[in-house]
Amino acid sequence: MSDSRLSDFRTYALSHMMDVEAILSEVYTARCAGRHGFALFDGGAHKAYHTMRMLDLPGCLRVHAVEADPFMAETFRGVLDKRRPDDLDRVVFYQKALQDNPDLQSIPWKSSPSHVGRSSIVARDSERQTIWGDNPDMEYREEFDVPATTIDSILAAEALPVPFLKLDLEGADLLALRGAAETLRCKRPIVAFENSIHAPKVHGFTLEEIAAYFDGLDYVPMSFVGERISTDTWFGFFEAWVAPSEDADWLHEQLNAALERRNL
């Protein structure tokens, strides 16, 4: 049944792409309901869609927003300056790439003027340097380096609870989560991430390693419709979740309700 529901949702999502983002928003809104004094994390902040919705949540004192691409970072700042000038003091912005090595200060980057949201880290030691491969529709600027950091480095000094992380990193999401062990162990956020089938090859890890990593932190990988996934069923959809084991049933219920609201 779960395979059928995910298949049905995939078909639905292809013609209702913004509903994917809406469901993310519904989940972190529910996750934060009744909380007072927390921070949220928007990795791959793009045009501030989620940052602005996070700022709207009662009790949200801070949003850590990360956008590596300098051209998109300029757009992000412009959107906030225009639409949320009174909230700028609650946004901590980082123009940096998220990855797993805390000692790495910069990393190669491909910036696309034709598909700005698909700009991404470059894997020098892979036959496929980005998750988009040799897509003929993609245009790239000349490769350059961008500053790099980890989720743990950003949140090390964050004293507030961090109940939710949103990641949209063009295939580097699982790489970034490997740099978030302390955050996951101590803060216990629910995480939404982009689930690219090409990520292991591009970024040099196996799904078995990733599954063991989450298991060691007592986290449960889940499909976008809220079913637990294994290495055999990992790539059913291009977005997925990991949840602390103590919150996995809660997330399943939230996603089930979100799908029912859409008659799915």
**Taking residues 139-148, what's their average pLDDT?**
95
Q: Do residues 175 and 203 touch, judged by C-beta distance below 8 A?
A: yes
pLDDT of res. 89: 98
Query: Any idea which of 72-81, 84-93, 125-134, 150-159 has the lowest mean pLDDT?
Result: 125-134
pLDDT of res. 1: 42
Tokens 């162990």, residue?
Answer: 185
**Taking residues 145-172, what's their average pLDDT?**
97
> In this prediction, what percent of the chain has a pLDDT beyond 90?
90
pLDDT of res. 112: 92
What is the distance between the alpha carbons of residues 172 and 177, in angstroms, rounded to a whole number? 9
What is the distance between the alpha carbons of residues 63 and 55, in angstroms, rounded to a whole number? 7
**Domain 29-223: which CATH number of 3.40.50.1390, 3.40.47.10, 3.40.50.150, 3.30.70.140:** 3.40.50.150
Q: Where are the beta strands (DSSP E) in 67-185?
A: 91-94, 97-98, 106-110, 120-121, 144-149, 164-167
Which token pair is 165?
A: 């992380």
The confidence band for 2, taking pLDDT boundaries of 50, 70 and 90, is low
pLDDT of res. 129: 85
Name the residue among 7, 16, 14, 57 with its Cα closest to residue 37.
Answer: 57
Q: Do residues 132 and 138 touch, judged by C-beta distance below 8 A?
A: yes
The confidence band for 234, taking pLDDT boundaries of 50, 70 and 90, is very high
pLDDT (tens digit, 9 = 90+) per residue, 109-125?
Answer: 999 999 988 999 998 77
pLDDT (tens digit, 9 = 90+) per residue, 166-220?
Answer: 999 999 999 999 999 999 999 999 999 999 999 999 999 999 999 999 999 999 9
Which token pair is 180?
A: 């978030």
pLDDT (tens digit, 9 = 90+) per residue, 30-60?
Answer: 999 999 999 999 999 999 999 999 999 999 9
**Taking residues 137-159, what's their average pLDDT?**
95
Query: Any idea which of 92-101, 111-120, 160-169 has the lowest mean pLDDT?
Result: 111-120
DSSP per position, 217-250: TTEEEEETTS-B--TTSTTSSSEEEEEEGGGHHH
Q: Do residues 41 and 48 touch, judged by C-beta distance below 8 A?
A: no
What is the distance between the alpha carbons of residues 63 and 54, in angstroms, rounded to a whole number? 7
Beta-bridge partners for 109: 121, 144
